[in-house]
Chain A
């Protein structure tokens, strides 16, 4: 896993960037961000704070505790903890999904949900009436049902190999559901796990930016002009959007 001591280049602060970039402020310049920065003093850089005692963001907005246990266990199988670093569970991916489902994304608020509904060709995309939050509710229930009927336990009570088998059965549509296809649900679960692992930590996943650190992704940096044409790989400590907030 990435070692934060192995930092070769310091991220460019906004103030230094503006000093060094040769930004030309002409009569018609429309550099809004740059302009507002020139008027605002930059707060001193914060040293990395010790992890807080409690994360008040980690509370359920949508899932029931039972649903959360299923999601949390499934995410961890999709992106497991190993010698490379934390898995989806420690990164908070299930909280990320919970928070996303509680908002616009869960309600398909910016998608076309008007009738009439017809089944279409696969190339025409999703044509169902169900919203994402409903798909998750059904999918999680069915995962427990399938686990119970094949292994006699709820999904999160199974050993990892059996959990993988259940997920595989959903992924390949070996499980038949009446309202949605099992693979549609699995693909949504997989995609949102990846989002929870790698989205900016402001959304509740990617805890401590550990997802980014494993991938050597520097997050929210101002500029890469100093390294863009250099032959060597440059590691740096990531910055989150919080670093741009104040």
Chain B
């Protein structure tokens, strides 16, 4: 049935950050690589008309077409999962570069604590600190082991930043100086310092100056145009796979990208993959692409879904806690912030960049004492200036009606007179939160959709309330008027309002095949020639944007694949 193609060294499923990094590293070493991408080709010329809030931010121009494929969601196992019929909570990318094109560029390193979260929690607070059902585990790698890969990712992407005073040790400074400091960033830093906190400029993949990376890719500086999140960058100033790693791979002549190629199964004989099966979505033809090594690089959901559909690895069973594919799905707590209104100041809120901001980690990870708190971990607290856009931003002081004359007046008045201090809260895994295949709903090919079972828990509510109070203190210190909007209360997890496209877990890494799906090279315990790359490997989600850590793990995986190739098989760990 399926047409069998000539064998290649490596096939990559999805060409975003993960796929692009793997492709560039492997082709530089002479391997032949085919990248299968279900979406279309992309280039910077596509963004000539990108300053269009309606088309990109509200009609989701760059996102996966949900009519063909979506996810289903339920809060707990005794509820019927239903499809996410329209976008809300998170935005799934598609096309060349994947979600790496529509991101903001906020590029953090997770904390040393994150990689050994279970050991460090027990060491400091005792085993009783970990509540029943919270399935935190060490990642099978330490921050120090991962540090060289963080460094490599930052130099490739051109990260602009200043050292986090409370972060892990760095082997070298950021390759370029931080972004410029806006008045609101300065106010945040001043207020934080008064409270003996440790503010620093947010690490940014929006270039603060023209930059040529170690691969010889030269890019222009960010123009602070205010159209990053949900948009592509017309300057190529925001690092994305299409302007960094993909051209490097292509230049070797060893990388072939096939767009409109939707991978549906990993083919395998026993525990060894033989290639993948995909459909050309423009013709409906099926192809078999044989390969020595299969690399899954298709975001959390499809990494998990394709493994489950291919019957590769042991599916997670929430009843017994056994099995690993689908385990430890985590998200983030974006509630817990405060908005300040300033009657006597006006800010150029329309200007900005996706990762322009000032932040602090005094309340992140285990940087503060949790002995008397009913949660572990925390949040990065930040003020960002990503560029307000007029449809999406209509901040009004509490008590203002949501329409009519008073709404109009207040929304116009405060458009350039508000500052939001927000917390990006970590999300801990729980036994009852997982991914599996939906029994009812199908995609356009008749394959089952991935099903999310997830809800916020008490830990998340405590964290949100704690962070909201901290954010409110800072925004008051910044001089906001009395009418603060303080977002303390976290309701049930709701799929409808946008929160964060930082979904993690499902194919997690660890030190043992009993508790994890992949080792610290992201090599599958149950299939030695399959590597599963992405934030799917995160055993929990930190209080940060995931791309920096995901990029570091991708470089680590690339190294593992080369080692595997050299040693002609076997487990790397």
Contacts and interface: CB of A to CB of B under 8 A. Distances in A.
Interface of A: 17, 21-36, 77-80, 82, 84, 87, 104-105, 108-114, 116, 118, 120-127, 164, 167, 171, 190, 193-195, 198-200, 202-203, 211-212, 214-225, 227-231, 233-234, 241, 244-245
B284 interface: no
Contacts of A223: 223-225
Contacts of A109: 67
A32 B235 CA distance: 8
B66 interface: yes
A27 B84 CA distance: 44
B153 to A, nearest CB: 18
Contact of A28 (B70, B183, B247): B247
Interface stretch (B306-314, B347-355, B463-471, B559-567): B347-355
B223 A222 contact: yes
Given A32-B236, A110-B66, A164-B404, 19 more contacts: A17-B223, A21-B220, A22-B210, A30-B43, A30-B219, A31-B44, A79-B408, A84-B412, A112-B66, A112-B85, A120-B82, A125-B88, A203-B54, A211-B390, A214-B412, A220-B51, A220-B52, A224-B225, A228-B348
Interface string B375-402: 0000000000000111100100000001
B416 A30 contact: no
B128 interface: no
A113 B67 contact: yes
B48 A27 contact: no
A233 B210 contact: no
A159 B82 CA distance: 43
Given A26-B216, A200-B54, A241-B52, A227 B351 contact: yes
**Which of A21, A87, A121, A211 neighbours the largest number of chain B CB atoms within 10 Å of its CB?**
A121
Contact of A118 (B73, B80, B88, B210): B80
Contact of A84 (B247, B409, B441): B409
A211 B235 CA distance: 28
B264 to A, nearest CB: 18
Contact of B210 (A24, A33, A114, A203): A24
Contacts of B53: 198-200
A33 B350 contact: no
B57 to A, nearest CB: 10
Interface stretch (B32-40, B287-295, B324-332, B490-498): B490-498
B90 interface: no
Contacts of B408: 79-80, 82, 84, 87
Interface residues on B, range: 35 or more
Top 4 A-B pairs, shortest CB-CB distance: A26-B218, A224-B351, A32-B44, A223-B223
B390 A241 contact: no
Contacts, number: 226
A224 B247 CA distance: 29
Contacts of B51: 200, 219-221, 241, 244
A31 B350 contact: no
A112 to B, nearest CB: 4
Given A110-B65, A195-B54, A125 B496 contact: yes
**Which of B60, B235, B494 neighbours the largest number of chain A CB atoms within 10 Å of its CB?**
B235
B181 interface: yes
Given A31-B219, A110-B66, A123 B390 contact: no
Nearest to B216: A28
B372 to A, nearest CB: 31
B403 A233 contact: no
Contacts of A231: 183
Given A32-B44, A112-B85, A244-B49, A233 B346 contact: yes
B210 A30 contact: no
Nearest to A203: B54
Contacts of B88: 125
Contacts of A219: 51
Contacts of A220: 51-52
B98 interface: no
